[in-house]
Chain A
Amino acid sequence: MTKTAVTNKIRRLRFDHGEMTQQELAERIGVTRQTVNAIELGKYSPSLEVAFRIARVFGVPLEEAFSYEASEEK
């Protein structure tokens, strides 16, 4: 899985919410810890449902947890 254009602030949000571990976040959103790690590193773009779950765990809007960097069209 190559790097995606979707970036996120999940690591910072985890630390801001009682230093939540990747495992804890994974259990709350229904994925594996390895998937959470892949999302944080930008190697995997989660589905819309998982993205919304992540935002809901941290109590923030989707746009605060994720952002999309569209590349310039040539």
Chain B
Amino acid sequence: MSFREKSAWVTLTTILLVSGFYFTHVPRPFDPNPGEWSLFVIGVAIAAFVVIEVVAHVVLYLRYPKDARTRKDERERLIDLRATRLAAYVYVAGTFLAILTPHHGASGFAVGVFVLISFMIAEIVNYAARIIYYRRG
């Protein structure tokens, strides 16, 4: 398994963990009074994501220093581009759907939550696609 594939697994796992934490603690999107708790949860989720990513990648770097220092080659750059393009489609579709929710009574907070959901799903698609492309050769 290449270093970049290991890194993709780490990031995918981190996104799933942080998303799971966020969606089990955030107020429901249609809650009329989300309060400051939702901001706190977002802050904790972002901080947790950064810390886990940094620590995990430092461990990867120390474990595989030679692979970590190798620059991305053409195939890895192509995989990144294809996965990012897929993620962009998901994010744009999700955002457009989120914009429609006020027509069904959603508040500004709800729109923000739905945009965040589409972003998280897009990133999951991004890193899952990278892993699939790496596995397929």
Q: Bound pair: A and B?
A: yes
In angstroms, Cα B5 to Cα A41, docked, is 19
Write out the residue numbers on chain A whose beta carbons fall within 8 Å of the beta carbon of B136. 1, 43
Number of A interface residues at 8 Å Cβ cutoff, please give it: 15
Report A-chain residues with C-beta under 8 Å of the C-beta of B1: 34
Of the stretches B34-42, B55-63, B71-79, the one at the interface is B71-79
B70 touches A38 (CB 8 A): no
A43: chain B residues within 8 A (beta carbon): 136-137
CB pair A31–B75 under 8 Å, yes or no, is: yes
CB neighbours (8 Å) of A30 from chain B are 73
B interface: dominant SS: helix
Give the shortest distance, in Å, between A30 (CB) and chain B (any CB).
7
> Residue A1 contacts which of B5, B70, B137 (CB distance < 8 angstroms)?
B137
The number of A-B residue pairs with CB atoms under 8 Å apart is 36
- Flag if A38 contacts B73 (CB, 8 Å): no
Residue of B nearest to A34 (CB): B2
| A7 proximal to B (CB < 8 A) | no
**B9 on interface, CB distance cutoff 8 Å:** no
With a cutoff of 8 Å between Cβ atoms, the chain A residues found around residue B119 in the complex are none
Which residues 20-46 of A have a CB within 8 angstroms of B? 30-35, 37-38, 41, 43-44, 46
Taking beta carbons and an 8 Å cutoff, which residues of A are in contact with B?
Answer: 1, 30-35, 37-38, 41, 43-44, 46-47, 50
Given contacts A1-B136, A35-B75, 4 further A-B contacts (CB under 8 A): A1-B137, A41-B137, A43-B137, A50-B74
